[in-house]
């Protein structure tokens, strides 16, 4: 009789231990790895960012044209590769006389836009405004990695040698004065605090001028 009781108790104890072991099963390592990959920052070049933003902007109007593309400096971004973690594109519809901005973000943080593409508000657009000229996509042939190389050869290298973490941002727009689409490489966190600004032809990759 005692043996039967002991056997029954042993079976019950084994069942309890097995249930506890099942409930406390650790999370799958693959799930943790996937979560980490989602949160990893993403940095892309100017042409890649433009393509992403332009596709989204076409939902605003069929005749949409680009006005400007601007990167935001984010610490740790590989600017020497012409890449940034945040890009903003401004577009206009000539038929609607309206403009709209779109932002792509590959990073997360306080006061930063959400990851992915976010839509800005609509605004009026004046085709006679010299600082908001639209341009045709075929003009954009040179990407920001090559643009950075040109800027480095015309004064940028001296700054990055002094400060390996020198902020750099990129601006793309059409210069009515030059009748050219220009990349502006800005050595600073904004055009206003720039130590150096280099203009590069976005169609040929040629150095245009030192703007600072």
**Does 96 have pLDDT greater than 90?**
yes
**Does 123 have pLDDT greater than 70?**
yes
Burial class (CB in 10 A: 0-12, 13-18, 19+), 132: middle
What is the DSSP code string of 77-125?
--GGGTEESEEEEEEEETTTTEEEEEEEE----TT-PPSEEEEEEEEE-
Percent of the chain surpassing pLDDT 70: 82
Domain locations in the chain as residue ranges: 2-39, 44-210
Task: Note the pLDDT tens digit of each residue in 56-95.
Answer: 999 999 999 999 999 999 989 999 999 999 999 999 999 9
**Does 185 have pLDDT greater than 90?**
yes
The helix (run of H) or strand (run of E) holding residue 16 is helix 2-23
Global model pTM greater than 0.85 = no
Check: CB of residue 170 under 8 Å from CB of residue 86. no
Q: How confident is the model at residue 110 (pLDDT cuts 50, 70, 90)?
A: confident
């Amino acid at each position: 009789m005692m043996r039967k009781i002991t056997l029954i108790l042993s079976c019950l104890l084994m069942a309890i231990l097995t249930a506890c072991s099942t409930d406390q099963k650790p999370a799958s390592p693959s799930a943790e790895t996937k979560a980490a990959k989602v949160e990893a920052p993403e940095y892309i070049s100017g042409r890649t960012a433009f393509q992403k933003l332009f596709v989204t902007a076409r939902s605003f109007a069929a005749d949409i044209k680009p006005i400007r593309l601007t990167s935001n400096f984010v610490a740790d971004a590989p600017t020497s590769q012409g890449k940034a973690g945040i890009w903003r594109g401004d577009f206009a519809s000539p038929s609607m006389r309206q403009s709209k901005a779109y932002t792509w973000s590959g990073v997360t943080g306080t006061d930063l836009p959400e990851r992915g593409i976010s839509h800005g508000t609509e605004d009026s657009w004046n085709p006679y405004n010299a600082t908001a000229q639209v341009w045709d996509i075929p003009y954009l042939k040179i990407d920001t990695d090559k643009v950075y190389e040109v800027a480095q050869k015309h004064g940028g290298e001296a700054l990055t040698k002094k400060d390996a973490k020198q902020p750099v941002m990129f601006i793309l727009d059409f210069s009515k004065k030059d009748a050219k689409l220009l990349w502006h490489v800005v050595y600073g966190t904004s055009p206003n605090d720039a130590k150096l600004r280099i203009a590069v032809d976005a169609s040929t990759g040629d150095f245009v001028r030192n703007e600072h």
